[in-house]
Structure 1
Amino acid sequence: MIISIANTKGGVGKTTLAVQIAIARALAGRDVWLIDGDRQGTAAAAIAARAEAQKLPGIACAQYADGAQLRAQVQQQAHKWEDIIIDVGGRDSTALRASLILADTLLVPFAPRSYDVWALDDMANLVDEARSVRDGLRSLAVMNQADPGANSSDNADAEAALADLPQFTYLPTPIRRRKAFSNAGGAGLSVVESLPRDQKAIAEINILVDSIFNVE
Structure 2
Amino acid sequence: MIVTVGNTKGGVGKTTLAVNIAIARALAGRDVWLIDGDRQGTAQTAIAIRAEAGHQPGIACATYPDGPTLRSQVQQQRGKFDDIIIDAGGRDSTALRAALILSDVLLVPFQPRSYDVWALEDIAALIEEARSVRDGLRAYAVLNCADPGEASADNVGAEEAVAQVPQLELLQTPIRRRKSFANAAGQGLSVLEAKPLDKKACDEISALVNALF
TM > 0.5 fold call: yes
Q: Identify the residue that residue 31 of structure 1 maps to in structure 2.
A: 31
Q: Identify the residue that residue 160 of structure 1 maps to in structure 2.
A: 160
Would you identify which runs of 4 or more consecutive aligned residues in structure 1 move more than 4 Å? none
Which amino acid counterpart does residue 15 of structure 1 have in structure 2?
Answer: T
Q: Identify the residue that residue 178 of structure 1 maps to in structure 2.
A: 178
How far off is 1:134 after superposition?
1.0
- Counterparts of 1:1-216 in structure 2, within 5 Å, are 1-213=1-213
Cα deviation, 1:165-208, whole Å, max 9, x if unaligned, reads 11011101000000100110121101111011100000000000
Cα deviation, 1:25-72, whole Å, max 9, x if unaligned, reads 000000000000000000000000000000000000000000000000
Q: For 1:188, what is the secondary structure of its paired residue? A: coil
Give the whole-Å Cα distance in 2 for the aligned partners of 1:46 and 1:186.
7
User: Any gaps of 5 or more consecutive residues in structure 1?
Assistant: none
Which amino acid counterpart does residue 194 of structure 1 have in structure 2?
Answer: A
Give the whole-Å Cα distance in 1 for the aligned partners of 2:18 and 2:140.
14
Q: For 1:172, what is the secondary structure of its paired residue? A: coil
Let me know the Cα RMSD of the aligned residues: 0.4
Cα deviation, 1:128-181, whole Å, max 9, x if unaligned, reads 000011100000110001000111000000000011111011101000000100
Q: For 1:141, what is the secondary structure of its paired residue? A: strand
Q: For 1:87, what is the secondary structure of its paired residue? A: strand
Which amino acid counterpart does residue 171 of structure 2 have in structure 1?
Answer: L
User: Any gaps of 5 or more consecutive residues in structure 2?
Assistant: none
Give the whole-Å Cα distance in 1 for the aligned partners of 2:131 and 2:170.
18
Number of residue pairs the alignment of both structures matches: 213
Q: TM-score, normalised by structure 1?
A: 0.98
